[in-house]
Amino acid sequence: MDRSRTAVARVLGEIEKLGLIDAAEHSEVLSVLSDDFPFAAAVRHTDSVHAHIKVEDVDALPHQDLVALGHRPENAEPGYVKYATLTGVHFIFSSIPIAQDDSIPGAVTLPKPFMDHIGIDMRDESDTTREAFDAVVDRAGELRWREVTQDGPVHCCHTRVQGKHWVYPPEGWPGRRRPIEFAFGTLSVFEKTMGCDLRPIDPGHELAPRQGTGACGAAPQPCAGAGGAEAGAS
């Protein structure tokens, strides 16, 4: 695995040339790997990073081009596919609901394709990684980023992790910043669907449910896609 800045920038450039991310999203993903990234202490404990990109139609993606670039398709389901790269920075493409925003009229206004969020995959379950994961909450408070915790287990249809923290930047933060997901624990994969814990909407969004109305979703939601099947959004 080559997670050097040069290698990651090359892969991001390839995805940008295919029209699947724009220049701002390219820079945003690359910034996550910088030493001055606000949550760099957590990123040091990652196994991988992913960009989750919403598209109109997963079947219409340039799959042959992605494979020709050496990217490996994984967990493909109707409306969902993950492309793993040799850099440890992966790409998830979906056309199914994966966020609360998707079910709130007027909450999503970005034209597709757009990056829904960046994921920080903290798969190692050691005490030190758990401490780094737990520290995300206090770090978000220091930075005045909004934060939502999904206590584990967190399901995304047939996958499960132990827990997630989601952080959202304050207004005026430099650069265009999408929600960032910190997922802790081994990614468990099941043969049957387990329900979906959708990405919480930014608590600062004008359409976000008010406190006490289930901002994180009290229970997993039904999965979208043919036959109700969906791969995990993590």
Higher pLDDT, 178 or 78: 178
How many helical (H) and strand (E) elements, i.e. helices and strands, does the chain have? 5, 11
State phi, psi for 128 to the nearest 5 degrees. -65, -40
User: Cβ distance 92 to 80 under 8 Å?
Assistant: yes
Phi/psi at 103 (nearest 5 deg)? -110, 5
- pLDDT tens track for 186-195: 766 555 554 5
| Angstrom distance (rounded) from CA 123 to CA 130 | 10
**Strands 72-77, 48-54: parallel, antiparallel or unpaired by DSSP?**
unpaired
Residue 30 neighbours by CB under 8 Å, 6+ apart: 5, 8, 9, 12
- What pLDDT score was predicted for residue 160? 62
Residue 22's contacts (CB-CB under 8 Å, 6 or more residues apart) are: 16
Listed in sequence order, the residues at least 6 apart from 227 whose beta carbon sits closer than 8 Å to its beta carbon are 78
The pLDDT tens digits for 99-115 are 999 888 888 778 999 99
Given CA atoms 234, 179, 48, 61 in this order, what sign does their dihedral have?
A: positive
Element of type H or E holding 122: strand 114-122
Q: Mind listing the pLDDT tens digit for each residue in 140-169?
A: 999 999 999 998 776 565 566 668 999 999
175 within 8 A of 112, measured Cβ to Cβ = no
Paired tokens of 193: 């669907």
pLDDT, greater one: 79 or 8: 8
Give the pLDDT confidence score for residue 22 in this predicted structure: 96
- 94, pLDDT greater than 50: yes
Give the gyration radius of the chain's Cα atoms.
Answer: 17
**Rounded mean pLDDT of 161-178?**
85
Residue 2 sits at φ, ψ, to 5 deg, of -115, 95
Closest C-alpha to 196, from 160, 147, 164, 167: 160
For every residue of 51-112, DSSP letters joined together read EEEE-S-GGGS-HHHHHHTT-EEEEEETTEEEEE-TTSEEEEEE-S--BGGGGSTTS--PPS
Residue 17 token pair = 């040339």
DSSP secondary structure letters along 128-160: HHHHHHHHHHHHHHHHT-EEEEEPSPEEETTEE
